[in-house]
Chains A and B, each alone.
Chain A
């Protein structure tokens, strides 16, 4: 039996070469490389796709986008006292991958009433724009307890690591009920970018 070395040693492929001909060993290497890469790709692609696709938070097929119009009643207008922020929770169905839990707190807002008319209503997200802790209210204004970001009574950032002021949340008054449209914003940046969810 010939060992491969002796075979290639006694057999000079250059002699037999014609234009376009590929060396046999080279061709075998290409076959190994191609077959290996293709086999790996066949396996790796779907696996990587699963990992990457769930990062895009696909919607449950049976739940329409914005099944409700997004407005949640959170308090009664009469309960708001001028210049005294009221903390309110947005209650609704929370969708977390395949779990749908009714009556969950989706978020927390601070409601501000500026005066008599309902047009003075403002709602601020209680989620700190820095790293997402919940902002508390004290006599001096709003403060995030985690890294001591201070905000004034209107939610404007004063001191501390928060890169921007508190995020405003759409709000309105309907039939004496304060309603808000909950939204979450990207943490950490100076720009306010809404996270679609």
Chain B
């Protein structure tokens, strides 16, 4: 065989060089134009989505306890993870913008007309598919925003008459928006939709090649080709788009909200390109909702789909009139979007947005030490910085007051509980409305007359020393021993524990044992059974919490109550003489 170049070698065996040459040989009458570049940039961005998507699939795990965690890991731990996720996120935004530009160019340049009608329809379907891809991708991180927005979107699907409920069940996998929803959306997002897009784009491009690029024959040069004049323009704009997306990904990164919490209040706002639709809902309340969810979007889509057969005139005026509804819809969308932004500028929304951002920051902070197998939501719910306070409000705050947490007064205020000041306040006037006043136990009179200021100070110091832990302000030992002596001699008539009971009969010593007052053990004992004989006895009304709180929660509440001792105790002036028995 005679020696040949490598091209000829390949050609004979594979036919590849000539196939490539054919691939680049697309007619473009009138020569290259800048306004024809959007399709190529779209293809480039779809490729970007595919690449970053596959990269993320090597990390992501689609489970309700793992989705957020793996996304966070990708975002915060893996080098370049934030960039890859950012590219995928902002790539979507760029695709939506480019789709609008591509559609506008096609419509304006009459590329919808014979023989391109079907390819135009395919393009519209592909645009819908892209929007569906963003919908299925949005909840995959299983964060608050994705979860709530998607729950609302599937709710809208379910509200469509006749087929809606079935479609919704198929989409979310039953009636519960949960694990099966996530796996279904994942399957759709990484496999079915991309497959459909791939086939669709292939057919779209094949038809473009068959028809030739819709050129501008009036500019002459009817033999012009796509390669290389237009290809260079396409490549340049695609590069600029990708760089822009990269810049946005680097600048902002893709957002990651707190882990999805179905029981929370969340101000769900969709991505900007769904905002007009979301706002439209507000204008059609109640039974008319279907106008906003189906009729108006349906009419617009139908109008776009029929365009090849509606827009047939060559007169500028008539075309302007025909295309006016599209412009009007665009303006309408803009107005709706601005309206939503205005609605969102309320203080209430800002507040919930700030709260959501704070939870998100907390979740990301907690995750740094690792996420437990129960998942990120449990991790946030058991956050030692927040959970104890929540438990307190839920279980204790219905009776006990604490500044900033609860205002109920069916038992003593617990600000400063365990401190000297709290002890002094109690000794001064036990039946003060902020102390035992609202309970049914009123046996103890004010002690100032019996103990005087010095004795009160000493007893308070001793009481403080009972729950003292290293690291806190140390009790004065001289005062403590003086206080203990007074207590053992003068208080143990009623209070149980070691002491001098000779003052009166010891028969009804039923007041609480204070030997460990203010300590963790003491607080725990009250939580387990405040009505135990060594505590408040039969007249106690505080519920028993041993079966309401699990061990971890019990410890959290104990720690929380103990943390209150550094707060200012209630200020109690002398007991009014009239109430002294």
Contact = CB atoms under 8 A, between A and B. Distances in A.
Given A99-B64, A188-B158, A134 B265 contact: yes
B158 A159 contact: no
B499 interface: no
Contact of A99 (B148, B169, B179): B179
Contact of A145 (B165, B176, B352): B352
B286 A162 contact: yes
B430 to A, nearest CB: 24
Nearest to B187: A51
Contact of A195 (B159, B175, B281, B343): B175
Interface in A108-154: 108, 130-134, 136, 145-149
B152 A57 contact: no
Given A105-B263, A131-B156, A146-B152, A96 B176 contact: yes
Contacts of A189: 159
A155 to B, nearest CB: 15
Contacts of B166: 55
A163 interface: yes
Contacts of A105: 262-263
B348 to A, nearest CB: 7
Interface in B27-86: 64-65
B289 interface: yes
Contact of B285 (A57, A108, A161, A184): A161
A160 B287 contact: no
B159 A187 contact: yes
Interface in A81-127: 89, 96-99, 101, 103, 105, 107-108
Nearest to A190: B287
B338 interface: no
A196 B175 CA distance: 8
A197 interface: yes
A188 B159 contact: yes
B267 interface: yes
B175 A184 contact: yes
Nearest to B349: A145
Nearest to B269: A146
A7 interface: no
A97 B169 contact: no
A187 B352 CA distance: 24
B178 interface: yes
Contacts of A103: 550
Contact of B287 (A136, A163, A195): A163
Interface of B: 64-65, 148, 151-152, 155-156, 158-159, 164-166, 169-170, 173-176, 178-180, 262-268, 281-282, 284-287, 289, 343, 348-349, 352, 374, 398, 550
6 contacts: A55-B174, A76-B398, A130-B289, A133-B152, A188-B156, A190-B286
Given A96-B180, A108-B263, 18 more contacts: A52-B170, A55-B166, A56-B174, A96-B64, A101-B374, A103-B550, A131-B152, A131-B159, A133-B148, A133-B266, A134-B263, A145-B267, A146-B267, A147-B282, A160-B282, A161-B286, A163-B286, A197-B174
